Amino acid sequence: MTVEETQVAEVVVVPREEAEKVVCENEKVVEGDDKVKEVEAAESKPKAVEKSSSYKEESNYLSDLKEFEKKALSELKSKLEEAILGNNIFKKEEPKKEEKKVAEEVVKTEEVEKTEEEVKTQEEEEEKEEKPQEVCDKKTEEVAGENEKEAEEGEEVKKSEDGCEVVDKDISLWGVPLFPGKGFEGTDVVLLKFLRAREFKVNEAFEMLKKTLQWRKESKIDSILDEDVCADLSSAAYLNGVDREGHPVCYNIFGVFDNEELYQKTFGNEEKRGQFLRWRLQLMEKSVQKLDLRPGGVTSLLQINDLKNSPGPVKKELRIATKQAVGLLQDNYPELVAKNIFINVPFWYYALNALLSPFLTQRTKSKFVVARPTKVTETLLKYIPAQEIPAQYGGFKRDNDNEFSSEDGAVSELILKAGSTGTIQIDAAEQVGSTLVWDLTVLGWEVNYKEEFVPTDEGSYTIIVQKKKKMGSNEGPIRNTFRSNEPGKVVLTIENNSSKKKKVLYRYKAKKCYTL
């Protein structure tokens, strides 16, 4: 599997020898111990979290495209316009006639070789039996009837009062008009997705688009949002927040299927698996509604796939359904997922990847990012800000949060060197009578942690808010509050006794208390 490594902008403590080497090579600072000490001192101070060098979507502006890409887009638009004007988008390909021609030639040859007596005998027998031509005519009528039915159900060719076909120029995909003549700014964005999925091969992209439109019509996808399917699966996949670039984030929680009752209810037979696929497509349609399919808009999603406690590939039904879902999404929703991040990845994941890999394009696989259980929060932070990461994954986002809103306080960070202690001070001097609220998370955990309120008045006693204790990764993010009745400060102390550096993320705010 191709795993994309994305760098996160952060300042780290480096050994003195390496620091001196960097100083010398860049010629930005003078050599010597004093400069190294300044660097280390700067790292030990809290600072605002810098935005990571997250991934960027490929540009959908015509001016940013390469010449061969512009040419391919122009050709695809011409083919699409011609197909729409000719009412050919939903027409099925006519059946091949090679076999019919071969059969006719064989019959002619046999007739030439027949003697008059054989022909006479054949005619006498035909009087008693149904004639071959009648059989052929019947078959033709059946095929014609089937084609007529397909035309009624699939093509739905409309005619005006004078009998002329009416051209449907209102064909759209994901709410975006596809007829180039309409000049809608989102048309190019949608067409570029199909071109990129087929490496700008115009004919292949056009066929992919046609098949998608036909599939959506036959499967009634445009009305899928009105359906009530698999209500029990609301915890299996859902949309929650946005990433650093504004992409909607969709979480797929495979662990819910560890429940045997839910598993059987979802995958027990072919009909149930069909309902599961219908539900997953419905969620995809909901996701697409959150996109802005215009040049410069957010035109794709970020998918998080949590494999913790997932039944895994040993479950045949899940394996079949997963393969079907991957196929449908890849064939009919091209380039709508910017990244696919797999977290809490168990050992069997690699076997599943080997199974699905042949069905994925190289472009799709290049968007995969894999994180083991110990690297979940660290990996997600590369793409999603802490305030948008759910608490169960080490972030600060909580359901129905009454303390912090998306507009509250920026998240800051503190880097702790191995074997060091760091403190975070929340000034309460001007917040007397208010309640201080804070969130804190440590990447990697395994630290000692305590909280105290230190009054400004030296004659007052220090108040223990949280006594010192060792905290592991199972603790999750910390949220605590303290109401200050006198001037002072809240001090959060983190001891890193491990041999690895730790990153601490935190935020806080003061809530004023009103009395009647």
Q: Are residues 255 and 378 in the same domain?
A: yes
* Domain's final residue, options 185, 218, 251: 218
Q: Are residues 188 and 72 in the same domain?
A: yes
pLDDT of residue 28: 40
Token code pair at residue 414? 């503190």
How many domains, in total, are found in the chain?
3
CA within 13 Å, CB half, 13:
20
507 assigned to some structural domain: yes
Q: How many CB atoms lie within 10 A of CB 383?
A: 24
pLDDT digits (tens, 9 = 90+) for 402-452: 899 877 868 999 999 999 999 999 998 777 888 999 999 999 889 999 999
Q: Are residues 337 and 441 in the same domain?
A: no
Distances (CA, A) of 389 to 249, 250, 260, 339: 10, 12, 29, 16
pLDDT digits (tens, 9 = 90+) for 77-111: 999 999 999 999 987 655 555 544 544 554 454 55
* Domain's final residue, options 191, 218, 245: 218
User: What CATH number is associated with residue 350?
Assistant: 3.40.525.10
341 assigned to some structural domain: yes
Q: What percent of the chain has pLDDT over 90?
A: 59
137 assigned to some structural domain: no
194 assigned to some structural domain: yes
pLDDT of residue 144: 41
Cβ–Cβ < 8 Å for 256, 262: yes
Q: Show Cβ contacts of residue 362 under 8 Å, excluding neighbours closer than 6 positions.
A: 2
Higher pLDDT: 27 or 487? It is: 487
145 assigned to some structural domain: no
Q: Are residues 252 and 373 in the same domain?
A: yes
| DSSP percent split of the chain into helix, strand, coil, nearest 5 | 45, 20, 35
pLDDT confidence of 314, banded at 50, 70, 90?
A: confident
380 assigned to some structural domain: yes
pLDDT digits (tens, 9 = 90+) for 323-359: 899 999 999 999 999 999 999 998 878 777 777 788 7
pLDDT confidence of 168, banded at 50, 70, 90?
A: confident
Cα 359–365–367 angle (5° rounding)?
145
pLDDT of residue 484: 87
pLDDT digits (tens, 9 = 90+) for 115-154: 455 545 555 544 444 443 343 344 334 434 444 444 444 4
Q: Are residues 179 and 323 in the same domain?
A: no
pLDDT of residue 406: 75
Question: What is the extent of the structural domain holding 443?
Answer: 409-511
Cα separation, 355 vs 351, whole angstroms: 6
Q: Taking Cα atoms as reference points, which of 260, 261, 252 lies closest to residue 307?
A: 252
User: What CATH number is associated with residue 190?
Assistant: 1.10.8
Q: Are residues 207 and 232 in the same domain?
A: no
Q: Taking Cα atoms as reference points, which of 402, 404, 454, 393 lies closest to residue 426?
A: 454
pLDDT confidence of 488, banded at 50, 70, 90?
A: very high
Distances (CA, A) of 427 to 302, 381, 442, 455, 482: 38, 27, 21, 10, 12
Token code pair at residue 297? 């808009």
* Domain's final residue, options 170, 192, 218: 218
Rg value, the chain, Cα: 33
